[in-house]
């Protein structure tokens, strides 16, 4: 009872709800400020108290802070879950059923302005009406309750029955859809399983095929090794026989020269003739490896990492011209004028001291240019096509190589990892002369594959995927594409094609 009494003390007698901004008037009664403004007649004169009718001046309204704090604390205690059967607004028992709002309400709600004009019924009668139906209602109930309410109940029951049938049909449809969805998911899982097995089987075949191809290449290389060894042994035997014969002839000539006069004059022509016809001509021929490293599907695999490379014109030598949006470059200097032009440019540019190359921003001595790309990680592949058959060099380099003055110094020692490309073939620029590793005309297009993860840059024939050479450049953090062109030489970087 104490809690109920406290609630009554904290309830506005106008709105029958907790005080909101409570104010006190001259007679001592308290009301919500908004409720008091709505209940009194507009004007500046005194107004009667809604409870005791005692007149009070509008200027006598005083905020009741203590009552406001007490109301706030009481409401805060009731912010938890509302017990079953109680009104969530007033925490009073739900004893009535509002026919207009179709929901249970308490006695305090009935007296509020929200429900003053609504039709109410005891909640037990409302429940019984819904359960039994409206045809069994007694005559006295027809008198006690409006006919409109009874027909409303009847319609509501019909609607609920129809709604129940509709929900049953919907449930049946959803269950059928659920069954179909389950079958679809099962078939999809079977397809995924089948596709996984197919992929595994096909890649297993590919692995076996690659193993067989590897064995075939190893057999070819072994056969070539045996044939080359046999030929080298034959050449060595022939050379040893020639040396042995020549040694015997030298000994014989020496003995003949030291023989007595009579013996010296006996048939010296035979020794002299054999000395003259002794053949010492022997052509040395360095054996070459004819079995190339050509892995099936290598071209397709490399194109998965193809990137667009464009030439950085701001790094280029003055004699290089560009077109095709930075993918084509040509050295317009002729072979006869290049030495003179290079010397004059060196003099004008002041590059007499080759040590001062740290802050060079473009090539001023060699006909070179860098790519715009800067590679710090990942895998990258691009191709270069030579158009006129003249000598070029392609690869990767550090960013601080633009002060180099001698093309013979282009090598990993100065930060350039490239291959030299001429009519004789391709060979790596290592700082010393080398023999071609791929003859023409096969390598009219070369591919460069840079793997920053392994720190390697590899070169391939872009036509048949034959491996040309591999450098290790793992110690460099930033690498850029590198291009060198001999006089009148030109090259083009083909556009990227979808290799996936």
**pLDDT given at position 87:** 79
**pLDDT given at position 396:** 96
Q: Which residues pair with 31 in a beta bridge?
A: 23
**pLDDT given at position 417:** 95
pLDDT of 314 > 80? The answer is: yes
Assess contact for 368 and 482: CB atoms under 8 A: yes
Q: Which domains does the chain have, with CATH numbers?
A: 2-77 (3.30.40.10), 298-492 (2.60.120.920)
Residues ≥6 apart with Cβ < 8 Å to 341: 319, 333
Q: Read off the pLDDT band of 474 (50, 70, 90).
A: confident
Assess contact for 446 and 374: CB atoms under 8 A: no
pLDDT of 253 > 90? The answer is: no
Residue with tokens 């006690």: 144
Q: How confident is the prediction for the chain on average, in pLDDT?
A: 80
pLDDT of 291 > 70? The answer is: yes
Give the residue with greater pLDDT, 123 vs 3: 123
Strand residues in 398-479 grouped as ranges (E): 416-422, 425-428, 445-451, 456-461, 467-472
Q: Read off the pLDDT band of 139 (50, 70, 90).
A: very low
Residue with tokens 């040509």: 330
CA 23 to CA 455: how far, in whole Å? Answer: 83
Assess contact for 365 and 342: CB atoms under 8 A: yes
Sign (positive or negative) of CA dihedral 455, 461, 463, 464: negative
Residues ≥6 apart with Cβ < 8 Å to 129: 121, 137, 150, 153
pLDDT of 282 > 80? The answer is: no
Can you read off the two tokens belonging to residue 259?
Answer: 């023989």
Can you read off the two tokens belonging to residue 355?
Answer: 């040590």
CB atoms within 10 A of CB 264: 12
CB atoms within 10 A of CB 478: 11
Sign (positive or negative) of CA dihedral 91, 93, 98, 104: positive
Give the residue with greater pLDDT, 22 vs 124: 22
Please give the DSSP secondary-structure letter assigned to residue 367.
S
Lowest model confidence (mean pLDDT) among 149-158, 234-243, 381-390:
149-158
Model confidence pLDDT, tens digit, residues 86-99:
777 776 788 888 88
CA 80 to CA 37: how far, in whole Å? Answer: 32
Lowest model confidence (mean pLDDT) among 54-58, 336-340, 379-383:
336-340
Q: Read off the pLDDT band of 312 (50, 70, 90).
A: very high
CA 481 to CA 457: how far, in whole Å? Answer: 11
pLDDT of 227 > 80? The answer is: yes
CA 99 to CA 121: how far, in whole Å? Answer: 7
> Which of 482, 483, 485, 498 lies closest to 375, judged by CA?
482
Assess contact for 494 and 328: CB atoms under 8 A: no
> Which of 253, 257, 259 lies closest to 278, judged by CA?
253
Residue with tokens 């070369």: 446
Radius of gyration of the chain (CA): 52
pLDDT of 136 > 60? The answer is: no
**pLDDT given at position 273:** 74
**Overall average pLDDT of the 139-150 stretch:** 50
The three-state secondary structure class of 48 is strand
CA 205 to CA 296: how far, in whole Å? Answer: 13
Highest mean pLDDT among 180-189, 213-222, 284-293: 180-189
């Amino acid at each position: 009872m104490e809690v109920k009494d406290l609630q009554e003390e904290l309830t506005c007698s106008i709105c029958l709800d907790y005080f909101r901004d409570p104010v006190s008037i001259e007679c001592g009664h308290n009301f919500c400020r908004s409720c008091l403004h709505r209940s009194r007649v507009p004007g500046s004169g005194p107004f009667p108290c809604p409870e005791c009718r005692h007149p009070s001046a509008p200027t006598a309204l005083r905020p009741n802070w203590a009552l406001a704090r007490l109301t706030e604390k009481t409401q805060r205690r009731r912010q938890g879950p509302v017990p079953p059967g109680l009104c969530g607004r007033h925490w009073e028992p739900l004893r009535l059923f509002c026919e207009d709002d179709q929901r249970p309400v308490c006695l305090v709600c009935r007296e509020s302005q929200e429900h003053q004009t609504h039709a109410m019924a005891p909640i037990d009668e409302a429940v019984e009406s819904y359960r039994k139906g409206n045809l069994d209602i007694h005559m006295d109930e027809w008198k006690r309750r409006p006919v409109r309410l009874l027909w409303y109940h009847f319609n509501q029951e019909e609607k609920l029955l129809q709604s129940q049938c509709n929900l049953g049909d919907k449930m049946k449809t959803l269950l059928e859809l659920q069954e179909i969805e389950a079958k679809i998911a099962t078939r999809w899982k079977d397809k995924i399983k089948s596709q996984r097995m197919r992929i595994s089987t096909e890649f297993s075949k590919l692995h076996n095929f690659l193993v067989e191809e590897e064995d075939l290449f190893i057999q070819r290389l072994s056969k070539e090794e045996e044939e080359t060894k046999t030929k080298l042994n034959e050449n060595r035997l022939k050379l040893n026989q020639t040396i042995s014969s020549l040694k015997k002839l030298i000994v014989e000539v020496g003995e003949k020269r030291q023989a007595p006069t009579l013996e010296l004059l006996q048939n010296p022509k035979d020794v002299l003739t054999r000395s003259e016809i002794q053949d010492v001509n022997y052509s040395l021929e360095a054996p070459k490896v004819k079995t190339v490293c050509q892995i099936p599907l290598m071209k397709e695999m490399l194109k998965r990492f193809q990137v667009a490379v464009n030439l950085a014109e701001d790094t280029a030598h003055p004699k290089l011209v560009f077109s095709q949006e930075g993918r084509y470059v040509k050295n317009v200097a002729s072979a006869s004028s290049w030495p003179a032009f290079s010397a004059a440019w060196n003099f004008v540019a002041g590059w007499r001291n080759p040590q001062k190359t740290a802050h060079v921003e473009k090539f001023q001595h060699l006909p070179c240019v860098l790519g715009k790309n800067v590679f710090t990680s990942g895998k990258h592949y691009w191709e270069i096509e030579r158009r006129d058959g003249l000598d070029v060099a392609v690869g990767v380099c550090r960013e601080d190589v633009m002060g180099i003055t001698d093309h013979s110094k282009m090598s990993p020692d100065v930060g350039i990892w490239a291959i030299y490309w001429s009519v004789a073939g391709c060979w790596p620029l290592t700082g010393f002369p080398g023999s071609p590793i791929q003859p023409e005309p096969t390598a009219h297009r070369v591919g460069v594959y840079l793997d920053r993860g392994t720190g390697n840059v590899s070169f391939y024939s872009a036509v048949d995927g034959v491996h040309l050479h591999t450098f290790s450049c793992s110690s460099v953090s930033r690498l850029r594409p590198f291009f060198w062109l001999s006089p009148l030489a030109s090259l083009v970087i083909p556009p990227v094609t979808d290799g996936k």
